[in-house]
Structure 1
Amino acid sequence: MGRSGSLNVITEGAVVVALCVALSFIPLQTPHGAIDIQLGAIPMILYAFRRGPYLGMVAGLLWGLVQIVDGQAMKNFLSVLQLLMEYPLAYACLGLAGIFSTGIKRNITRRRLTTAVMIVSGVVLATLIAWTWRYLAGAFVWSQYAPKSVNPFLYSLVFNGTSAALNLALSTVVLLILANVAPKLFIPKDEKKV
């Protein structure tokens, strides 16, 4: 990849991170964050499908760090470990969807079922691994807010699992629609055909 290709990747990554941060200002959560819909997961996973897992994870990590720097994450600050688990680590894991990048790009215009399976697999993988970090933070840090009679692991499972399921469903539906109506979004112009 030449200099202009590298510049395109960096610019695209910066735009995606900025879009994710902007989308995080749209309040889609219940009081106390019991349900938290993260619209930024959609462009982040799409970026990972376009650019692969490494660049997807770097962009996700940057999104998590920006959430800390701009103060959004600090509204929920309990400990440094909790902050790292719920933001940079969880958001970086969204980039793991990029593991399916090559297969999606290879099949996006020809094999719709194969592409759909890969998109769903990528979203499920990324969401579940990101959710695992939030689940662990909930079980070990946020559990102090659980009712005394409730097991902290069960509390975190229900509390974070609902959000994970809703985010997974929303991301899957939107990305499948995009694959059908705008498949070229999944293939960068500066990349050779796979």
Structure 2
Amino acid sequence: MKKDSTTVILVESALMIALSAVLELFKLWQMPMGGSITCASVPLVLLSFHRGPKWGIGAAFTHSLLQMLLRFDVPPAKTFGAFAVVILLDYVIAFTVLGAASFFGKPFKNRTVSVAVGTCIVSLIRLLCSFTSGCTVWKDYTPEGWPVWFYSLSYNATYMLPQMVITAVLAVALIHVLDRFDGRKLRPASN
């Protein structure tokens, strides 16, 4: 099979970034102090499995910058370092890691398992980013009497775990459609 040109892959990446931005607008659940359940991660995960982690990470990084422009919340950062932590953990790393899903799914030969595991791992890394940010920069929002780590974990897990499940289920269902459309056999993405 002829390899797609860079132009085709760039267009596909741009479409997936745009689709993620649009899907971010349709919230299934909105948390009171930020965070929501959407299907916005699905296109980025699909791109990673369809084109490999290099293209997935590039598109997800671009998406992270777009998210900062569209929905940046001014953090209660008292120092430049704390402000940088919010930029990195709540946006850049948290969204960019979605593009590495195929890297984490690569050890699994079965395409369904590969997509499900890769999606879950990057979603858990994203949860870890938000948890860490919650424990450091956003800790002033912790209700009195709650341990900071417990509040950050429970708050972020409330929306990120359901989003992980939704993203994994949709990615598994849609990757098979994408593979059939692309003429691929059901196998892990080549990098």
TM bucket (normalised to shorter chain) is: 0.7 to 0.9
TM-score (norm 1): 0.80
Q: Does 1:165 align with 2:169?
A: no
Per-residue Cα deviation, 1:42-88 (whole angstroms, up to 9, x for no partner): 11100111111122111111111011123x1x235444321331112
Contact 1:77 1:83 in 2 (8 A): no
Contact 1:44 1:59 in 2 (8 A): yes
Query: Counterpart in 1 of 2:80?
Result: none
Q: Secondary structure at the match of 1:75?
A: coil
Query: Counterpart in 2 of 1:50?
Result: 50
Distance 1:130 1:27 in 2: 18
Distance 2:24 2:177 in 1: 25
Distance 1:62 1:163 in 2: 23
- C-alpha spacing 1:174/1:28, structure 2 compared with 1 (3 Å): same
Structure 1 vs Structure 2: percent identity of aligned residues? 23
Q: Choose between structure 1 and 2: higher helix proportion.
A: 1
Any residues of structure 2 matched to 1:77-156 within 5 Å, and which?
Answer: 77-79=75-77, 80=83, 81-99=85-103, 114-156=110-152
Q: How many residues align?
A: 179
User: Considering only aligned residues, what root-mean-square deviation do their CA atoms show, in Å?
Assistant: 2.8
- C-alpha spacing 1:143/1:160, structure 2 compared with 1 (3 Å): same
Distance 1:147 1:101 in 2: 38
5+ residue gaps, structure 1, are 108-113
5+ residue gaps, structure 2, are 78-82
The structural deviation recorded for 1:142 is 1.6
